[in-house]
A and B are shown apart, each in its own frame.
Chain A
Amino acid sequence: MVGADPGGVAAGDAQMPVPRRRGLLGRRAASGAGESMDALAVGIEIATALRDGLAAPAAAGATRRLRGLLDADAVGLIGLDGAHTWSGHEVAADALVDDVLRTDRRAAHGDVTALPLRVRDEPAGVLVVAGAVPDAAVRKAAEFVSDALHRGRLESSADAAEQAELRALRAEISPHFVYNALTTIASFVRSDATRARELLLDFALYIRHNLARHGEYTTLAGEFRAVEAYLALARSVLGERLRVQVRIAPEVLPVAIPFLALQPLVENAVQHGVEHREGGGSVQVSGEAQGEDCVIAVEDDGPGMSPERAEDVLAGRGTGASLGLLNVDRRLRAVFGAGYGLVIETAPGAGTRVVVRVPRFHPGVVAT
């Protein structure tokens, strides 16, 4: 619940100056361009304050601006869950509010008027206005608040859709890899039970990391551990054909990165650089600090590719495991900004080196 002003709980309040002109809507006095612009500015402020709904702390700012706009004694916004925000002296309007919620129509008592707020024809709350304010102005205000709430919901569902898309972009576990690993472990159960046990523990770690849904971020230490588990399994499958070196500087261990920002790059290197080659190949993974950035590199000495093909991969025109690279590229850009995508250094016959650069400290990115 949010109290009436001037107690001002709203974080957004500080940025919103109290409107100088009062009663623009109430006096029907939009005579000059200046006043129109003032009304527009106040309208935008109200819409912004209502972006997160009636229960959000910022809603207090909206009631204050509505009161100014209507030149009312008091304005209250009441959500469906009973959360209420007042500007001016809170009016005992519970009966009116109940009335409005029951009938979905205007209710009034003395100079207190209550109107339903609707979003997509569904009840969304109640606007209560006290004072000598024309009915038409109150109705207009209710419409405006309803529109603002609608817009807020659209925005938050667009955010949710973007989040969902990023989640869907998370790399998928390769069934090919899983069955090969299990087959190998099954064989070791007979010949080397200790090794089989160790590999099963690696397998558990790999699966746990890949199924992780809690929090969007992990530490580089956590991601490297998953990478090493994957590489230990891949090595048990490929044997001497896969040669591996992992190097990490301790200062970058706590760096926060999105889950699975690194492992798909390593899987790609193993698949492209080693698996399909006679005689196998080597994969090197490294993490180190360079100034304020953490630089992670995944390198294989496989067949490489033309720069055009590398461009295709990052443009989404690649196939198979290279989709893993695209996926990582998109997620890194979404989190850290456009400048923090993958860099692919490659040429035919020259192996492939994929470099990830992430800020060591990024506000709002915290590993869980």
Chain B
Amino acid sequence: MTAAATAGLRVLVVDDVAPALDEMCQLLREAPGVTSVEAAADALTALRMIPTTTPDAVFLDISMPGMDGLELAGLLGRMTDPPAIVFVTAFEQHAVSAYGVGAVDYLLKPVSAERLGAALGRVHRVRNAGAAPAQAVDELAAVPVELGGRTRFVRRADVRFAEAQGDYVRLHTRNGSHLVRIPISRLEEHWRGVGYVRVHRSYLLAVHAVQELRSDVSGGLLAHTDVGDVPVSRRHARELRDRLLDAATRGEFDSGARRDGR
């Protein structure tokens, strides 16, 4: 999400249904990290616009008269520096062929702002994948804390969740909590690749620490851990659920061997 805040995306939306086109443009204009939104009502118009507007991503309806979205994506794929393709469609039957032409994501209409945010996150990651140098050193595998005048280290693996408190974060572990001077957004940059997920403006959560998801369906969602409950905001709920499903599919919660991080 910090990447989304720094590098602005230019996007092009292609859809033959006018209200759907307007809706998608509106959602993208409201999304953080998007600097320009262009619209095209058919594939040929889009094809003419792309060389001049050079979008970073194209949000593409699949079922259109004339040239359809899959064909247009096929043509774009032959460009030297092609834009990222995100398909937007009403029906799931195309999913397999969509990923076949190298789509970054696949959205179902109607699209929610949260789901769109996740797609934009993927576009950012794909776009930055080539540029960003691999982070050689895992800088914050242990975090120094002051304890009774002495510096001790809290192992990241022991941290169930981190809670923002101004410029500080409170690291919650089974052996109590520790206040550390670091903005939560920086901690997230270091930890998101190693099993932590931002679930709220003020909370960063270890995926493996979640014992139960609790929802009252009217918007409130809590992630229950053995050191307390963490609120999950609506816009982060989907990513948390996806990460939990991935982790569970890999068997990371199995046979009581809930690992204490990595």
Contacts and interface: CB of A to CB of B under 8 A. Distances in A.
A247 B249 contact: no
B235 to A, nearest CB: 12
27 contacts: A198-B112, A201-B110, A208-B92, A214-B92, A219-B245, A221-B241, A225-B241, A232-B217, A232-B218, A235-B218, A244-B217, A246-B213, A246-B215, A247-B212, A248-B213, A250-B211, A250-B244, A250-B253, A251-B248, A251-B253, A252-B248, A253-B241, A253-B244, A253-B249, A254-B245, A254-B248, A254-B249
In this complex, the member of A214, A219, A247 whose beta carbon has the largest number of chain B beta carbons within 10 angstroms is A247
Contacts of B213: 246-248, 250
B199 to A, nearest CB: 13
B108 interface: yes
B93 interface: yes
Interface in B232-249: 241, 244-245, 247-249
Interface in A192-221: 198, 200-201, 204, 208, 214, 219, 221
A306 to B, nearest CB: 30
B244 A228 contact: no
A247 B212 CA distance: 6
Given A232-B217, A245-B214, A250 B248 contact: yes
Closest 10 CB pairs of A and B: A251-B253, A250-B244, A231-B217, A254-B249, A246-B215, A244-B217, A253-B248, A253-B245, A221-B245, A201-B112
B217 A246 contact: yes
In this complex, the member of B92, B212, B217 whose beta carbon has the largest number of chain A beta carbons within 10 angstroms is B217
Nearest to B108: A208
B236 to A, nearest CB: 15
Contacts of B211: 249-250
Interface string B61-98: 00000000000000000000000000000001100000
B197 interface: no
B249 A248 contact: no
B19 to A, nearest CB: 13
A245 B222 CA distance: 11
Interface string B215-238: 111100000000000000000000
Given A247-B215, A250-B253, 9 more contacts: A201-B112, A221-B245, A235-B218, A244-B215, A245-B216, A247-B212, A247-B213, A248-B212, A250-B210
Nearest to B111: A201
B244 to A, nearest CB: 4
Contact of B247 (A201, A244, A250): A250
A257 to B, nearest CB: 14
B254 interface: yes
Nearest to A246: B215
Interface string B245-262: 101110001100000000
Contact of B110 (A204, A221, A235): A204
